[in-house]
């Protein structure tokens, strides 16, 4: 049967510790990440959840080690959601909205790094938590202790992924959002399964499939719900009525690497579906697998074991069709394999 092997992927994280600041009056606490325990942070968050500084706290947990301006923009968007407002004027609470005060209050670390703008290397400000592990930790803590937060945060993150892919194609932001969604999934997999997954498949685009694969990869590597990811992949890999399900699985296999047997199993069923569409003259029908053929070919992202699995699927399918003397199927498979090699 199809099964996953353990991934060899490891995240390298450099951990820096900020210097704890001295306690100040309540509305201007310093370095809360370095001086408060979980209970105190929850109490502070409950008091300040409509303030810009808390929205930035959430934003930096999502976009840790990313461009400062992107984090501030996400902070603005999250504050509007938390306040339930649109296009309203800022209130007195927004006077926290300047960089040095937020860094001092939260205990964040600002640094300079380089990015590419239209092919040109530029220096810009970045922002990070004292430790990257804090990003997922606090998202899970907030989801656990403030159950309603996931109802607002989950759909926002999915929408942010789609908007970013459409307008900027900034996969750093997409990666931060998928990691945050993975942490939500690890804390509440029922909510993730019922409310988050359908938002991706509803789009019916290969970009949405790829981003969902990124998200599932994050959940797989976090291990807590690894069996859930494997079960999704096993079920979706067998679906023959919607190409976006097996395509997501194949993207995932290419990202995880060393999934040759699983790829083989998915492609074995995929070739059956493709042959049937071609023979029945339904290659341009709604939900046609043939229309997405190039994406199926490229989904392995040049990962060697992935393409070994594809070759094995073709070889064994052609061998079987020849044995059964099904010449039309053999010719179709030969043409498909040639297209695969050329692409």
Angle between helical axes of 206-222 and 244-256 (0-180°, round to 10)? 50
Distance between CA atoms of residues 262 and 309, nearest Å: 8
pLDDT in tens, the chain (343 residues): 455 554 443 443 333 333 444 334 445 577 788 888 999 999 999 998 888 889 999 999 999 999 999 999 999 999 999 888 555 554 444 545 567 777 888 888 888 888 877 778 888 889 999 999 999 999 999 999 999 999 999 999 999 999 998 877 688 899 999 999 999 999 999 999 999 999 999 999 999 999 999 999 999 998 889 999 999 999 999 999 999 999 999 999 999 999 999 999 999 999 999 999 999 999 988 889 999 999 999 999 889 999 999 999 999 999 999 999 999 999 999 999 999 988 7
CA distance 239 to 236: 5
Residue 19 is given by DSSP the state: P
Helical packing angle, 68-83 and 147-167, nearest 10°: 130
Cα(49)–Cα(64) distance, integer angstroms: 19
Give the sign of the dihedral formed by CA 274, CA 279, CA 280, CA 282: positive
Kind plus residue range of the DSSP H or E element containing 122 = strand 120-128
For residue 57, give the nearest of 39, 37, 78 by alpha carbon: 78
Paired tokens of 295? 């994406």
* Entry pTM: 0.84
């Amino acid at each position: 049967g199809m099964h996953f092997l353990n991934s060899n992927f490891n995240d390298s994280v450099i951990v820096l510790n900020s210097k704890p600041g001295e306690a100040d009056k309540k509305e201007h606490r310093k370095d809360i990440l370095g001086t408060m325990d979980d209970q105190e942070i929850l109490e502070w968050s409950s008091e300040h959840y409509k303030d810009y500084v808390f929205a930035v706290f959430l934003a930096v947990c999502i976009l840790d080690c990313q461009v400062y301006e992107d984090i501030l923009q996400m902070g603005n968007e999250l504050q509007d959601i938390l306040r339930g407002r649109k296009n309203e004027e800022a209130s007195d609470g927004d006077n926290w909205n300047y960089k040095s005060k937020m860094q001092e209050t939260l205990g964040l670390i600002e640094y300079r790094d380089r990015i590419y703008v239209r092919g040109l290397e530029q220096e810009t400000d970045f922002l990070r938590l004292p430790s990257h592990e804090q990003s997922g930790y606090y998202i899970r803590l907030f989801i656990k202790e403030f159950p309603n937060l996931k109802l607002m945060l989950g759909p926002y993150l999915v929408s942010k992924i789609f908007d970013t892919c459409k307008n900027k194609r900034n996969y750093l932001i997409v990666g931060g959002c998928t990691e945050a969604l993975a942490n939500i999934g690890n804390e509440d997999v029922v909510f993730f399964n019922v409310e988050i997954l359908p938002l991706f498949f509803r789009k019916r685009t290969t970009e949405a499939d790829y981003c969902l694969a990124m998200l599932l990869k994050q959940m797989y590597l976090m291990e807590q719900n690894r069996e859930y990811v494997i079960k999704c992949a096993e079920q979706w890999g067998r679906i023959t009525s919607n190409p976006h399900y097996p395509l997501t699985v194949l993207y995932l296999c290419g990202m995880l690497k060393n999934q040759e047997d699983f790829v083989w199993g998915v492609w074995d069923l995929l070739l059956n579906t493709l042959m049937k569409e071609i023979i029945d003259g339904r290659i341009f029908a709604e939900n046609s697998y043939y229309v997405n053929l190039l994406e199926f070919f490229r989904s392995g992202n040049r990962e060697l074991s992935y393409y070994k699995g594809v070759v094995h699927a073709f070889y064994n399918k052609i061998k079987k069709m020849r044995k059964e003397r099904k010449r039309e199927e053999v010719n179709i498979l030969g043409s498909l394999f040639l297209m695969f090699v050329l692409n």
